[in-house]
């Protein structure tokens, strides 16, 4: 790493991964979140008590659609610098941390931990070769790509409104020269609220999957109705997203925290909230995935971001943007680590068509 660039950034109070300044900042933020989790320990208030409902409104607030995906429309080189090389998954990787054994496997690479997450989801979502799958918010297409490689007879439709991510999907999964995928991937570049039966084949999917998407969804009821229409009889749907163990009132709406700077319109639902949604779909099972898996993923992303800082700054990032990304990694990390990952992690939910 060039000392010149680091010095320039330090002169603007921007410090790199592993620096004493950032470690201090993360410690302070972790202490803050530890206190908040303690303050709300065992609070099982329904979101309605705090003026938020997962049964009302647009699937995701329409007025802020464009802003809500701004975070996924930064320059491609930035994501390429820190995400795992091949699949570019932009969600928690699975390092094997559980509530009984919160230590992550130090020897596991980010690349292998993302594959282990994919495998865990395949198992819990009961995905099989020959299935027709609808992936909601498919990002850079990592999970879809993994399925296409693993299962020769699987077909996929991905929904994603992001211009930057869909440009990558067109190059990797839709490229007609990608013989291996043999036109088995179909892309719908739209927001969920704009989806009609002309975009997806209602009643045709064996599985509807989302990974790291329901944090952006306001009306789970309305989304589940759409999913129910999309599924064929006997079809199942699986969702992986960030949840808090207890109800943390200010997390129910991103606008009440710093998170709105990065994910306007977002929500962190309590672990029990999605289980209340049993009308359009039948709830089958859920699992809590310890937050240390996400802490370790973010730590690895943050490290890789700084290993590429000479490539990124100043060509692709302004000073302010370097500072923003730095704060983003620290803020997210410090939410996952309190209570050894037991208070804040990911929920896995499986439902079937009613
Ligand atoms: C955290 S990323 C996860 C991407 C991918 N599933 C992965 O694991 O890498 C969230 C994804 O949800 C998509 N998304 C967010 N809000 C959406 C909306 N209202 N309609 C459709 N997709 C949305 C974003 O474009 C992005 O691709």
In a domain, 188, yes or no: yes
C-beta of residue 296 within 8 angstroms of C-beta of residue 345 = no
The predicted pLDDT at position 321 comes to 96
Q: Which residue has the higher pLDDT, 309 or 4?
A: 309
Residue 148 inside a domain? The answer is yes
Q: State the pTM of this model.
A: 0.97
Residue 184 located in a structural domain: yes
Query: What are the tokens at 285?
Result: 């099972």
Return the beta strands (E) in the chain as ranges: 132-136, 155-159, 185-188, 205-211, 231-244, 269-270, 281-289, 344-353
More confident residue, 328 or 258: 328
- The best mutation among 88, 139, 195, 259 to test binding of ligand 1, ranked by most ligand atoms within 8 Å of the C-beta, falls on 139
Q: How far is CA 126 from CA 44, 118, 120, 130, 208, in A?
A: 30, 12, 10, 12, 11
- Compute the mean pLDDT over every residue in the chain, rounded to the nearest whole number: 95
**Alpha carbon nearest to ligand 1 atom 1, residue:** 212
pLDDT for 155 equals 96
Alpha carbon distance 9, 26 (integer Å): 18
Q: Measuring CA to CA, how many Å separate 1 from each of 133, 291, 292, 308, 309?
A: 43, 31, 28, 8, 8
Asked if the structure places residue 109 within a domain, the reply is yes
The CATH code of the domain that includes 178 is 3.40.50.150
The pLDDT value recorded for residue 1 is 63
Ligand 1 site, CB within 6 A: 60, 68-69, 72, 89-91, 137-139, 142, 159-162, 165, 191-192, 211-213, 216
Question: Number of folded domains in the chain?
Answer: 1
Q: Ligand 1 center to residue 1 CA distance, Å? A: 32
What digits encode the pLDDT tens for the residues 160-216? 999 999 999 999 998 766 666 878 999 999 999 999 999 999 999 999 999 999 999
The pLDDT value given to residue 180:
66
In a domain, 189, yes or no: yes
Task: Kindly tell me if the per-residue pLDDT of 26 is higher than 70.
Answer: yes
- pLDDT tens digits along 136-158: 999 999 999 999 999 999 999 99
Residue 335 domain-assigned (yes or no): no
Tell whether 279 is covered by a domain: yes
At 29 the pLDDT is 97
Q: What is the pLDDT of residue 71?
A: 87
Q: What is the DSSP pairing of strand 231-244 with strand 344-353?
A: antiparallel
> Which tens digits make up the pLDDT trace of 302-324?
999 999 999 999 999 999 999 99
Residue 313 included in any domain: no
Beta bridge partners of 241: 347
Query: Ligand 1 centre from 137 Cα, in Å?
Result: 4
* Ligand 1: centre distance to CA 316 (Å): 23
Show the domain range for 83: 49-290+342-353
Find the 20 Cα to ligand 1 centroid distance in Å.
34
Tell me how far the alpha carbon of residue 143 lies from the centroid of ligand 1, in angstroms: 12
């Amino acid at each position: 790493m060039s000392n010149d660039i680091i010095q320039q950034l330090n002169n603007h109070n921007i410090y790199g991964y592993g620096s004493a300044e950032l470690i201090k900042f993360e410690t302070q933020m972790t202490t803050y979140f530890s206190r908040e989790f303690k303050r709300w320990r065992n609070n099982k208030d329904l979101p309605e008590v705090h003026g938020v409902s997962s049964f009302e409104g647009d699937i995701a607030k329409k007025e802020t659609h464009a802003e809500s995906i701004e975070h996924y429309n930064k320059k491609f080189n930035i994501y390429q610098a820190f995400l795992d090389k091949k699949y570019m998954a932009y969600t928690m990787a699975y390092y094997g941390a559980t509530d009984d054994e919160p230590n992550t496997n130090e020897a596991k690479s980010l690349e292998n931990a993302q594959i282990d997450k994919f495998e865990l989801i395949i198992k819990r979502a009961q995905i099989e070769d020959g299935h027709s799958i609808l992936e909601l918010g498919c990002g850079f297409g990592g999970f879809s790509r993994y399925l296409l490689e693993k299962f020769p007879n699987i077909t996929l439709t991905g929904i994603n409104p992001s211009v930057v991510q869909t440009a990558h999907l067109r190059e990797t999964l839709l490229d007609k020269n990608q013989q291996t995928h043999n036109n088995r991937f179909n892309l719908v570049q739209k927001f969920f609220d704009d989806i009609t039966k002309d975009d997806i084949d209602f009643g045709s999917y064996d599985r509807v999957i989302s990974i790291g998407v329901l944090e952006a969804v306001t009306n789970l009821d309305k989304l589940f109705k759409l999913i129910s229409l999309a599924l064929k009889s006997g079809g199942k749907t699986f969702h992986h997203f960030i949840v808090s163990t207890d109800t943390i009132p200010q997390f129910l709406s991103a606008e009440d925290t710093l998170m709105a700077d990065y994910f306007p319109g977002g929500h962190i639902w309590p672990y029990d909230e999605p289980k209340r949604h049993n009308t359009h779909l039948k709830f089958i099972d859920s699992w809590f995935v310890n937050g240390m898996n996400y802490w370790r993923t973010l730590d690895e992303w943050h490290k890789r971001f700084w290993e590429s800082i000479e490539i990124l700054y100043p060509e692709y990032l302004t000073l302010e943007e370097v500072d923003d990304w730095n704060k983003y990694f620290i803020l997210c990390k410090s939410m996952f680590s309190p209570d050894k990952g037991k208070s804040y992690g990911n929920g896995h939910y499986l439902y079937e068509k009613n």
